[in-house]
Structure 1
Amino acid sequence: MLHQRFIELGEGYGDVYELIELINTNKDRLLRTIILSTSTPTGEALSFAAAFKPAGESNFMPIYICREGIQQKGEEKPKRRLLFEEKAEQAGVTPVYIKTKHSSEFAAPILFYQYIIGVLRLNNLLPSLY
């Protein structure tokens, strides 16, 4: 059985560069890149994520995420979003953009991540568990 889990790197300031480095060094395992967007009173809060295929014989699928730290106001994309999109494209994967609920609407971060995994599976963006 496949085990999928989010690994939070941070809120997306310096952490975006770590996520990009994970993409660069694991291009052969990269399955999907994702931009999650949620509405806030000041615009959109963005999360960047990268899902990787399991390593070797493992059944563990890591999904690294920088959660809701980048703000987008209006149509102009923030520099970190442009950089994330560019590096994902260079790795051969176009980021999928999804509007979601804000993590603060959930009692705990793990519930938010279960919700996101459900959304991704329902849209065939992550493989099923079996």
Structure 2
Amino acid sequence: MPQQFIELGEGYGDVYELLEIIKTNQERFHQAFLLTSTKGDKKVISLAVAFKPVGESKFMPIYICREGIPYHDGEPTKRQKMFEAQIEQLDRKAVVVEIKHSSIFSESKLFYQYLIGILRLNNYIPALA
């Protein structure tokens, strides 16, 4: 099953778009992710959601707000709380995954291939069949 990341932005106003996508596609919800990474001394989080394919399609979209939200081990930010609350309305929890920061990759395509590999390896998304 081919998966592809669809980047909405860096997690400011686009978090609201991600929340609306979750709300309007509840029946397609597969898994939510809190992807944490570190650049220098700053820890950031990416919010992502994978959805099941629609109809006869084999395509699995994964919407992401990439690395624009500060991450604190103790107190989550307002945007992170809103995201987790939306996921909890579906009686689910977001999976926290520590990843490499996208800045170490020469292009975003390589970063997203790396992420798909991590998510497949941990069985969070289906393998390519």
TM-score above 0.5, yes or no: yes
Q: Which amino acid aligns with 2:44?
A: A
Q: Which amino acid aligns with 1:6?
A: F
- String of CA shifts for 1:6-26, please: whole Å, max 9, x gaps: 000000001111001000000
Alignment match, 1:126:
125
Asked if the contact 1:42/1:73 (under 8 Å) is kept, the reply is no
In the alignment, the residues of structure 1 paired with residue 68 and residue 89 of structure 2 have an alpha-carbon distance, to the nearest angstrom, of 23
Give the alignment's TM-score, normalised by structure 1. 0.95
Alignment match, 2:54:
55
The 3-state SS of whatever aligns with 1:28 is: helix
Please list every run of 5 or more consecutive structure 2 residues that lacks an aligned counterpart in the other structure: none
- String of CA shifts for 1:80-112, please: whole Å, max 9, x gaps: 001101101112321000010000000100100
Are 2:67 and 1:65 aligned?
A: no
% identical aligned pairs: 53
Asked if the contact 1:29/1:52 (under 8 Å) is kept, the reply is yes
Give, in angstroms, the shift of residue 74 of structure 1. Answer: 4.9
In the alignment, the residues of structure 1 paired with residue 5 and residue 91 of structure 2 have an alpha-carbon distance, to the nearest angstrom, of 22
Report how many aligned residue pairs link the two structures.
129
Asked if the contact 2:36/2:71 (under 8 Å) is kept, the reply is no
CA RMSD of superposed structures (Å): 1.1
Asked if the contact 1:23/1:91 (under 8 Å) is kept, the reply is no
Asked if the contact 2:3/2:62 (under 8 Å) is kept, the reply is yes
In the alignment, the residues of structure 1 paired with residue 75 and residue 55 of structure 2 have an alpha-carbon distance, to the nearest angstrom, of 40
Alignment match, 2:13:
14
Give the alignment's TM-score, normalised by structure 2. 0.96
Alignment match, 1:46:
45
CA 1:54/1:74 → structure 2, altered by over 3 Å: closer, same or farther? closer
Give, in angstroms, the shift of residue 42 of structure 1. Answer: 4.3
Asked if the contact 1:24/1:91 (under 8 Å) is kept, the reply is no
Are 2:113 and 1:95 aligned?
A: no
Give, in angstroms, the shift of residue 41 of structure 1. Answer: 3.4
Q: Which amino acid aligns with 2:71?
A: Q
Please list every run of 5 or more consecutive structure 1 residues that lacks an aligned counterpart in the other structure: none
Asked if the contact 2:33/2:94 (under 8 Å) is kept, the reply is yes
